[in-house]
Amino acid sequence: MTIRQPTHTPYDGSSKLFTIGLKPLELERWIEVDEFLLPHLAEKRRLYAEIPEKVFVEEHGTRDAQQEVLDLLSAYLPAKYPESHRAAGSTVEVIGLEGAVDEPPSGLREAPLFRASLLVQEDLILMRRGGNGWRLAAGSLCFPSSWSLLEKFGKPLQEIHAPVPGFGPGTRPADLINRMFDGLQGQAVERFNWSIQADDALNHPLYSAQRIDRATNRPTRFADGDINAHAFIRVERQTLRKLPVSRDILFTIRIHLDPLSVLARHADRIALAASFAEQLNALDQAQLDYKGLTADRDRLVGYLAQMAKGA
């Protein structure tokens, strides 16, 4: 993986974990494209070929809304990113993937959301309003952060968020999220989520298996305690945008992966490491369990504390 400065650092205190944290988003900044576009799209194509039923779902009657997403992206991408996307008839193609042949299972090629998903690094989720609130009606989720598209398909928001501490059915955050979805109009919003994982895998449907550290004889994700070699910061940039015709909501999720060690070379490394450690220390037991950090939180905090001291 190419080592570079992080694109986003929400662990600086600007986006606290287990908060809603929605902020206005200018549509000009809706989709992100970087130097990993082609390898990320190649990974999507591999997943579509190997496990299509796990990374794409759709309800009957969502194709018009899916087409709306494809149309929006076809207009947006060549204008915003002419160096990576160009118009091709009524749609758009990714420069460098011209003539690439995709052979998804029968029926998937005709799904506009499938075609849209192979234009961007983001995962694309369609939420539709029904009697039980906003439900997951269609989606391309190639890069999940420890959740399953099949398990969430067709479920309303309050059930989707049931495993999240403090966000389950009947909680104030669950009610607020539903009201925010209802109130979303022409504007877009964004939020960030972040976690730590023990590899650089984009497709991360489950927490990394824990191993026994030989030095401490305790379970850990990080073999032999080598956090510097194995820990990656997983940042999710999420956006919400209500589609103008269908009135469905498009939820996008863009994954950024950075080695934890990259913070040591950041100009603001002391402040970033201190904030990161402080937020990890603030997580309660249920939150640690949900993030899969129960066994490793203290070790991570110690590593970051040393960095914050300039060590």
Q: What is the 3-state secondary structure (H, E, C) of the chain?
A: CCCCCCCCCHHHCCCCCCCCCCEEECHHHCCCCCCCHHHHHHHHHHHHHHCHHHHEEECCCCHHHHHHHHHHHHHHHHHHCCCCEEEECCEEEECCCCCCCCCCCCCCCCCHHHHHHCCCCCEEEEEEEECCEEEEEEEECCCCECCCHHHHCCCEHHHHCCCCCCCCCCCHHHHHHHHHHHHCCCCEEEEEEEEEECCCCCCECCCCCCEECCCCCCEECCHHHCHHHHCEEEEEEEEEEECCCCCCEEEEEEEEEEEHHHHHHCCCHHHHHHHHHHHHHHCCHHHHHHHCCCCCHHHHHHHHHHHHCCC
Least confident window among 2-11, 94-103, 140-149:
94-103
Decide if 1 is inside a domain.
no
Number of structural domains (the chain) is 1
Top-confidence residue, 193 or 206: 193
Least confident window among 45-59, 67-81, 226-240:
226-240
Is the model's pLDDT at 83 over the cut of 90? yes
CA-CA-CA-CA torsion sign (293, 299, 303, 309): positive
Decide if 241 is inside a domain.
yes
Decide if 5 is inside a domain.
no
With cut-offs at 50, 70 and 90, classify the pLDDT of residue 172.
Answer: very high
Angle at 255 between CA 252 and CA 259, to 5 degrees: 165
Decide if 4 is inside a domain.
no
Decide if 233 is inside a domain.
yes
Predicted structure pTM score: 0.92
Q: What is the mean pLDDT of the chain?
A: 90
Residue 186: predicted pLDDT: 83
Rounded average pLDDT over 272-294: 93
Q: Which domain holds residue 284?
A: 10-308
Residue 219: predicted pLDDT: 55
Rounded average pLDDT over 159-185: 93
With cut-offs at 50, 70 and 90, classify the pLDDT of residue 308.
Answer: confident
Decide if 239 is inside a domain.
yes
Is the model's pLDDT at 80 over the cut of 70? yes
Decide if 218 is inside a domain.
yes
Decide if 21 is inside a domain.
yes
With cut-offs at 50, 70 and 90, classify the pLDDT of residue 145.
Answer: very high
The contacts of residue 198 (CB under 8 Å, 6+ apart) are 208, 221, 222, 230, 231, 232
Distance CA 292, CA 146 (A): 9
Contact of 56 with 219, CB cutoff 8 Å: no
With cut-offs at 50, 70 and 90, classify the pLDDT of residue 213.
Answer: low
Residue 243: predicted pLDDT: 97
Top-confidence residue, 37 or 215: 37
Is the model's pLDDT at 17 over the cut of 80? yes
Residue 218: predicted pLDDT: 54
